[in-house]
């Protein structure tokens, strides 16, 4: 841990933390400073001018990143019969019904996305206290409660990510890997911010996109000039 801390401290010393970088410059620096032995995730944090304690200021949605996330997404599907078979054929990692609910209840949550057919929501609904805080609860508005499980699986594995504002008004997301090209990362960031703008709630007042920062998993965070990530 001490070695990681020293490396991160050195990286911070090599950048100006007060500067707001234009997106292309920020992406370039992120890639240059990522020196771990693994392919680090590029992480975006956006501070929004909302108070999610109020229902009319909640921000949530899904976005398909044009260049994917670079992450292997493990998908669980609650389904029975033909739709369970369709889910397996579409590449779902875990498929089940009451048996899957029992596994989740016991803490076996080996998946990153959860999809359910409408007829399974009576079962899935009982798992709200477990799946909800992890951002895994299926929701028809997010396309994760559907009879077309095959399409939902393809979307999730193809770079679709769900987002939800946290209590402090911040949205976090992984928008790619440092191995991506600079253009691909910048395109993903802009697609994500565009989705945030489209999800702007009616109760948001004043400045909506307040601050944007970018980092890699083990690297320093950089402030990004907000206008450079829009459009």
18-56 pLDDT tens trace: 899 999 999 999 999 888 889 999 999 999 999 999 999
Mean pLDDT of 125-150: 94
Q: What is the pLDDT of residues 91-101, one digit of tens each?
A: 999 999 999 99
At 159 the pLDDT is 86
Q: Out of 127, 157, 187, pick the residue that ends a domain.
A: 157
Are 174 and 207 in a shared domain?
Answer: yes
**192 is a domain residue:** yes
Are 28 and 88 in a shared domain?
Answer: no
Q: What is the pLDDT of residues 5-24, one digit of tens each?
A: 565 565 556 677 789 999 99
At 2 the pLDDT is 44
Q: Out of 157, 190, 214, pick the residue that ends a domain.
A: 157
Are 144 and 165 in a shared domain?
Answer: no
Between 79 and 133, the more confident residue is 79
Contact of 176 with 70, CB cutoff 8 Å:
yes
Percent of the chain with pLDDT over 90: 81
DSSP 148-217: -HHHHHHHHHTTEEEEE--TTSEEEEEEEETTS-HHHHHHHHHHHHHHHHHT--TT--S-SEEEEEEEET
Q: Out of 130, 157, 184, pick the residue that ends a domain.
A: 157
At 183 the pLDDT is 97
At 13 the pLDDT is 60
**4 is a domain residue:** no
Give yes or no for residue 142 having a pLDDT over 90. no
At 28 the pLDDT is 95
**205 is a domain residue:** yes
Are 47 and 19 in a shared domain?
Answer: yes
Q: Give the residue numbers spanning the domain of 94.
A: 75-157
Are 25 and 60 in a shared domain?
Answer: yes
CATH code of 105's domain: 3.40.50.790
Are 65 and 176 in a shared domain?
Answer: yes
At 141 the pLDDT is 87
87 — pLDDT class (breaks 50, 70, 90)? very high
Q: How many CB atoms lie within 10 A of CB 189?
A: 25
CB pairs under 8 A, 24+ apart, for 102-107? 104/130, 104/131, 105/130
Interatomic CA distance for residues 159 and 156, integer angstroms: 6
């Amino acid at each position: 841990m001490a070695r990681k801390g020293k490396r991160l401290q050195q990286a911070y010393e090599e950048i100006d933390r007060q500067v707001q970088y234009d997106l292309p410059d920020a992406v370039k620096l992120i890639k240059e400073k990522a020196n771990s032995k693994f392919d680090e995730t590029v992480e975006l944090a956006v501070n929004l001018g909302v108070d999610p304690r109020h229902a009319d200021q909640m921000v949530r949605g899904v976005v398909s990143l044009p260049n994917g996330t670079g992450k292997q997404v493990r998908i669980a599907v609650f389904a029975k019969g033909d739709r369970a078979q369709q889910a397996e054929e579409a590449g779902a990692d875990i498929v089940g019904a009451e048996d899957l609910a029992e596994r989740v209840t016991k803490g076996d949550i080996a998946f990153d996305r959860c999809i359910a057919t409408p007829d399974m929501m009576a079962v899935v609904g009982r798992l709200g206290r477990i799946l909800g805080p992890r951002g895994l609860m299926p929701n028809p508005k997010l396309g994760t409660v559907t009879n077309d499980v095959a399409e939902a699986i393809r979307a999730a594995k193809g770079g679709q990510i769900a987002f939800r504002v946290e209590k402090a008004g911040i949205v976090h997301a992984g928008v790619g890997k440092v191995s991506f090209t600079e253009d691909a990362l910048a395109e993903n960031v802009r697609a994500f911010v565009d989705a945030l703008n489209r999800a702007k709630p009616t109760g948001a007042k004043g400045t909506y996109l307040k601050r944007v920062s970018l980092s890699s998993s083990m690297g320093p965070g950089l402030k990004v000039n907000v206008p450079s990530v829009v459009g």
